[in-house]
Each structure stands twice: as structure tokens, then as C-alpha cells.
Structure 1
């Protein structure tokens, strides 16, 4: 196939996919043309947490990099109309973290190691955010080759990380290690609800919209402790109600904090899981707690970080504008800064209140 014919074919495919994005009641209608407010916040994030090559540095975790952070940076680059940074982040990720046998990425890259990638397992949320970012980038910058990459990731994710348990479509946290005899373990914070319509457009034959619907149902059912919160890790078994998974502390903490973020981003901030998080965060008259353990209903002896506070404000103030949320430079480390900037992005994109 000649180059011009191939490009025309890709453009036709691009137009077809981008026109077929499913519409969901209560879902954010992503306005990709406007550039997100607060470019100084993005500049601060890049200056503090990103190398010139496009590696996002987890300053709170021995300066590692994760597919999660790379995917988030790609999303943020599309929101700020920063094509050059998008390309740097994506190219670095492909060169250093891409698995050799599919289009997914290894979940962790460690500096100062002979083999920076020691574990080739993926992290589903990182790949999901990358595919979503590629979809958005293809639309914003009219680059159909990025849509092909997004479609390939969607297909590999679906093949390796989507399963059915007791009639429920579930999203595995990774390609291996979470399927057991009679049950699976899921991480509710890996359900990136605002991304599912794009995934369904990329792969209409897949179960992406079922994952959206069944994920919401799972969150309504899998609520624990005094405040009825989602757990960081959940066991989903045949014929049983979901319960906190064995092998992890039974907590609402640094993983599950992303559940209300993604719900609010998708226009679903009234869902019980998001409102329960808000009740928990407001439960202490002294300092907003970082986590709670379900068995004792005890709370962390230290307060929530900057990123959690940004999410609490996002959920608790549905009319809040992005610029009213906390600032990146006030965050103590990468994770808090990323959650802060993603909360601003969610505030910018979620549906307006009636």
C-alpha cells in the first residue's frame, strides 16, 4: 500500500471512530478544543516531576517511573494542547517500558538499575490512560496514526485484562497475578470511568460499556466500614458479595482515593462511593484523615495529603472551577501533585451543573 493510500485509509478510520464515541447520560462530554486553564500549573508539574526526555519521576517512591504516571502526563498534555511534551512522554514510554510481545507497558521503571524494568507485568490503569490519551491526541492534533496505537492497546487490554465473574464483566489490575480458582482480585481505582466511551469507540466489539455499567454496580455493592467506602483491593468471587481482598490491608487509602476522582470526572459525583469518601474526609473536626481501616474503623494518625484534598474539593464543590482547586507547587511529592492536576482537569471537563 502506498503512503498516500495508507494515510487516506487511516484518516477514514479516524473519522469513523471519532464520530462513533458512545454518549452516556451523566458522562463528561469532553471538550477537546478549548485549552485547559492554568498553564502555569502544567509548567510547574513538568519542571518538578518530569525529565527533558519525557520520564515522569515518582519523587515519593525512590524516583521510579510508572505507566500510570506516563499515561497521566499524556492525558494532561492533550488537555494543555502541548503536543511536544506529549510526544516526548509517549516516545520515552514506548522505548523503555513497552512489552516486547504486545502493546502494553511494564508497570514500573527503576533508575540506577542494570535492568530498569524488572517486572514485565503491566498495570491496567496505566495502559487505559495511555490509550485514552492517544485517542484524545489523535482528535486534537488530527494524527490518525495515534488512533491506530490507541486501538492496538485497547485490543490487548481487552484480551488480557477483561474477564467475567458470576455474570459480571471485571477489569483485572494486570495481565497476570490476579486470577485465582473461583475468584479474581480487582482494584476499583483502575476503573477510569471517563475513558470507557473512548475505549468503546476504539473497539466497538468489546465489553467496555459493560465494564462501565458493571463497575458502577460493583462500587455500589462493594462498600465497607463505618462510612461505606470502596476498598483499595476487592475480591470478586462466584456466588459471593465482594469483600476486601486478602493480602492487602482492608483500607480506603491511596489507591481507592482515585475512585471519587474518576466518578466526579465522569459526571457521576453523586454516586454513593464518591459521597461516602466525602463524608469520611469531613468526619474529623481536626484534620482530614488520609485513610481508614475497615476492621476497626480506625483512621490514619496523619492528615490527608494535598492531592486528596484536591479530590475532596472536586467532589464536594460540583461548581468549583479548575483554578479554584489547590496548586501543584504546594504538593509534597509526585503522587499528590498528579492527583491535584488531574482534579483540575476533571473540574475543567466534567459536565456543568444544571
Structure 2
């Protein structure tokens, strides 16, 4: 059952899709420097491995080989870790890499982008590089945590004596599927199936939402992790996106998010919900979150088409979410 959920996609009505290259070109012009560094304009102009991976996948899908090569070239030069194929998670202008730990979602998207580019441009070296990243994800980031086999958010710092911390939004299910095809190993299916099972269990508050950060106690039930706000917020909004992208739009984490965003008691579309008090953000969500909400809503109605993509403004993360939604829609419409 879990295998079928992971590998299938919903049968959805469609209409002609607007072109991804135009959306990618707008994102590239605003947030990608000529050397291939993706700039988080809302966070001190730092760069993240996840941003590099998202942009690489979009460049490959848009057939923008020059930008892809620049993005991958900067990622290898600036974020390379010395003893494996993973990437350091953050780069700060003027200081470089301050923490050599990785961010697993960044590595998943980088590997997926390399494999996608290899297939599009018949480049065996890109495939070899993507497979190397995938193999190190399995080797360094897959760990037991109670009854689950989990993806650690990074190679260091998330396994404690009493619990393991995971980030539910790092379960990028369509990327896991792509990596499983390239580097066959039963561990991928176990991680994906356990990830779905974990997300079914780890739902909190009035709407049954996943938290940004989750603790798995030894012998206890999952709970929002201490040290972070107990919220469904800017990380966790990607959970329904990635589940829906992988053909699992009927999962509780998607239906709960759709109910939350559509709740008629809200005066505006919330950016976050407090999972302990059910309070919502006093300000509205950014345009990118609104597009994730629309994506989740359409999946519930089993009528899927490309909506008009609202302008995401100059905010890097909002624009990145918009780009991810567009790629997800393209994939579902191509089934």
C-alpha cells in the first residue's frame, strides 16, 4: 500500500500549462548571481544548499544549461564538504561557510537535479555525481529512531540520548523516488514508507498539522521538538507540497493543511499556526504559501489545473515556493 502511494500520481483534469522557462527566468534574474550563487534576499543575502538544489532542478527543467552549470559549479566550489559528496548547508557573504553540517533536503534536491540534468543532456558525469550524493544520503543520513527509519536533517547534532529530531519538510518524496531509481536500495522504500507513517502520526492542534521540527523520543510518541516554536510554519508548509507532488494528495498532512488554509474563521490566509494553542499568525501568508494552499485545495477536489500564478514579489522564499509549486504542477499534469 505504501509503495503504491509513493509511486503513483492522482488522475487529474488538466489545461495547458504556462511555461516554466519564463518563471525560471524571472527567479534567476532576481536571485541568482552570475557565478551561480542563489541569494536569500530576506535573510542577509546568505545562500543555502536547498536554494541551490531548487534552482538547479528548475534550471534543468527549463533546459537552461548555462545557469545549471553555473549553479552546480558554485555549489561544488563553495559548499563542498571534504569527506563526502554532501554540501554544507549555509554560506554567508564575507565569511563563507560557517558550519560544515549539511541540510538533507538540499542534498536531496541537488542529487535529483543532477540526475535530471544527466538524463536531459546525456551527461554520464552528472549522473555519477548525483549517484554519489544519493549514496552518501543513504550512508550518513538514514538512521533508526524507535520504530521508524528516519532521514536526519543533517549528519550531526540531531541524535540525542533521549530522542531524535527530524524536520518533516525534509522528506522530499519526489526526490526520494528519483534517487531510488538511480541508486536502487530497499532503504529508500523503507525511509519513504516510514516517512509517510510518521507524518500520519505526527499531527497536532485543531487542524492536525505537522510541526516544523519533530522529536521522536526513545519509546514515546512523536511531539513538536523543544528548542523551536511548536508551529506549522515556513518549513512545514512544504510537507503538503511534497506529498502532493509525489501523488499522495489524500494523505492527512495534505487534507489537514487544506482545511487549515480554507477555515472560514480566518480573516486572512495564515502564515502559521501554533500547534499548542491553535493561534494563527496576525499577518497574512506570503504569496508563495498562498500558492501551496491553492495546490493543496485543488488536490482535495481532484480537479487540477494550472491556476494563475500570482506575483511573489521580491521575497526569495516566497518566489522559491512558487517555483516549486509550478514544477509540481508540471509533473502531475504530465502523468
The two structures share one fold, judged by TM-score above 0.5:
yes
> Out of 230, 238, 251, which is 1:250 matched to?
230
| CA displacement, residues 300-337 of structure 1 (integer Å, 9 cap, x when unaligned) | 11111111001011111234434x2424x433400000
Q: Secondary structure of the residue that 1:179 maps to in structure 2?
A: coil
CA apart distance, 1:239: 2.1
| CA displacement, residues 174-203 of structure 1 (integer Å, 9 cap, x when unaligned) | 000000114200000000001112211232
Which whole-Å CA distance do the structure 2 matches of 1:157 and 1:289 have between them?
Answer: 34
Instruction: Say if 1:121 and 1:176, in contact at 8 Å, map to a contact too.
Output: yes
Output aligned runs, 1:190-209, within 5 Å: 190-205=170-185, 207-209=187-189
> Out of 64, 68, 81, which is 1:99 matched to?
81
Is residue 125 from structure 1 mapped to residue 105 from structure 2 by the alignment? yes
Instruction: Say if 2:292 and 2:325, in contact at 8 Å, map to a contact too.
Output: yes
> Out of 314, 317, 335, which is 1:335 matched to?
317
Which whole-Å CA distance do the structure 2 matches of 1:136 and 1:203 have between them?
Answer: 14
Question: Where does structure 2 lack aligned partners over 5 or more consecutive residues?
Answer: 12-16
Instruction: Say if 1:27 and 1:351, in contact at 8 Å, map to a contact too.
Output: no
Which whole-Å CA distance do the structure 1 matches of 2:115 and 2:221 have between them?
Answer: 35
Output aligned runs, 1:232-247, within 5 Å: 232-247=212-227
Instruction: Say if 2:295 and 2:325, in contact at 8 Å, map to a contact too.
Output: yes
Instruction: Say if 2:48 and 2:89, in contact at 8 Å, map to a contact too.
Output: yes
Output aligned runs, 1:50-199, within 5 Å: 50-113=32-95, 116-199=96-179
User: Which stretches of structure 1, 4 residues or longer, exceed 6 Å deviation after superposition?
Assistant: none
Query: Counterpart in 2 of 1:312?
Result: 293
Is residue 292 from structure 1 mapped to residue 276 from structure 2 by the alignment? no
Query: Counterpart in 2 of 1:3?
Result: none
> For the aligned residues, what is the CA RMSD?
2.1
Higher relative contact order (CA 8 A, sep 6+): 2
User: Structure 1 residues 208, 28: closer, same or farther in 2, change over 3 A?
Assistant: farther
Query: Counterpart in 1 of 2:19?
Result: 37
Instruction: Say if 2:7 and 2:177, in contact at 8 Å, map to a contact too.
Output: no
Is residue 275 from structure 1 mapped to residue 255 from structure 2 by the alignment? yes
User: In the comparison of the two structures, how many residue pairs are matched?
Assistant: 324
CA apart distance, 1:260: 0.7
| CA displacement, residues 183-224 of structure 1 (integer Å, 9 cap, x when unaligned) | 200000000001112211232235111111110000000000
Which sits farther off after the overlay, 236-245 or 89-98?
A: 236-245
Instruction: Say if 1:158 and 1:206, in contact at 8 Å, map to a contact too.
Output: no
